[in-house]
């Protein structure tokens, strides 16, 4: 059943809770500084009850120990979820499904997306005006710094998404800066098949298909040159994912 989006803000918006998930795999170098930066930002700017949830994806370095130490240092503000298997989508599913917050967000550990966009991302979700929010590096007004190779691949991928799903309304299928409400968590997450990088695209496509209201904002984004993403392998898996979702959509019709 398709949801009925509301244009009426929640009367209890100021008491709402927000969980911010950071999926990590072998991020011992940047994890502590990124969490401290995010925590300082939330203290200064977020009027809602918030928590940072580190989702550790089978890291083989000291990432888990650092995450646990941060949780001990900031009880109630930082928590840890550990997974024995890799996969950003898998981490988000587990962290979001275990959350009891009104709104669940996520961002990459390198904080590539400027944190100044965070409140613009989550506030319409908290207020009940949208069900899912996503950052966009391709909308008019976005400011992006990244290598030409990745820029070309990203734009080509999103052109393919547009060709295969012409009714889709979002610009950027892959930006690692999103937020969902509790209804999406309960109703939509069980239908997301992918456990890796295609998770973002599948989340948006299935949300639109099921009638959830999506909010997209242009962001300032700076590429992390130490990224763990294997571009070619990821692109191939994304194309397979698009084909799978396309087939299931055709069968549903």
- Residues marked active site are found at 200
Least confidently predicted of 115-119, 150-154, 176-180? 150-154
Would 10 be classed as within a structural domain?
A: no
pLDDT score, position 33: 98
pLDDT score, position 95: 97
DSSP 223: -
Would 227 be classed as within a structural domain?
A: yes
Would 69 be classed as within a structural domain?
A: yes
CATH assignment of the domain containing 133: 3.90.550.10
Task: Give pTM, 2 decimals.
Answer: 0.91
Banded model confidence at residue 225, pLDDT cuts 50, 70, 90? confident
Q: Is the pLDDT at 81 greater than 60, yes or no? A: yes
* CB crowding 183-216: b at 16 or more within 10 Å, else e: ebbeebbeebebbbbbbbbbbbbbbbbeebbbbb
Banded model confidence at residue 226, pLDDT cuts 50, 70, 90? low
**Chain CA centroid to CA 250, Å:** 27
- The SS3 of residue 51 is strand
Helix segments in 99-230, DSSP class H:
118-126, 148-164, 182-187, 199-209
Domain extent, residue 174, equals: 16-252
Q: Is the pLDDT at 68 greater than 50, yes or no? A: yes
| Count of domains for the chain | 1
β-bridge mates for residue 83, sequence order: 57
The total of other beta-carbon atoms located within 10 Å of residue 217's CB is: 17
The tens digit of pLDDT for each residue in 98-141 reads: 999 999 999 999 999 999 999 999 999 999 999 999 999 999 99
Banded model confidence at residue 2, pLDDT cuts 50, 70, 90? very low
Q: Is the pLDDT at 251 greater than 80, yes or no? A: no
């Amino acid at each position: 059943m398709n949801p009925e989006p509301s244009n009426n803000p929640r009367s209890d918006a100021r008491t709402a809770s927000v969980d911010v998930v950071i999926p990590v795999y072998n991020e011992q170098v940047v994890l502590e500084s990124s969490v401290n930066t995010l925590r300082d930002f939330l203290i200064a700017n977020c009027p809602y009850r918030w928590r940072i949830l580190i989702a550790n994806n089978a890291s083989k370095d000291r990432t888990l120990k650092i995450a646990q130490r941060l949780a001990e240092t900031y009880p109630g503000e930082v928590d840890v979820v550990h997974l024995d298997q890799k996969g950003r989508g898998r981490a988000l599913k587990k962290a979001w499904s275990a959350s009891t917050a009104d709104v669940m967000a996520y961002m990459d550990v390198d904080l590539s997306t400027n944190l100044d966009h965070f409140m613009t991302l989550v506030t319409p979700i908290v207020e009940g005006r949208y069900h899912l929010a996503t950052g966009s590096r391709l909308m008019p007004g976005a400011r992006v710094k990244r290598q030409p190779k990745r820029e070309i691949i990203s734009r080509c991928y999103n052109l393919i998404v547009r060709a295969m799903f012409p009714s889709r309304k979002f610009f950027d299928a892959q930006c690692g800066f999103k937020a969902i409400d509790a209804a999406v968590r309960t109703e939509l997450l069980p239908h997301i098949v992918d456990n890796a990088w295609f998770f973002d695209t599948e989340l948006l496509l299935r949300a639109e298909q099921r009638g959830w209201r999506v909010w997209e904002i242009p962001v300032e984004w700076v590429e992390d040159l130490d990224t763990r993403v294997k571009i070619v392998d990821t692109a191939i898996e994304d194309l397979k994912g698009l084909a799978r979702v396309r087939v299931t959509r055709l069968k549903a019709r």
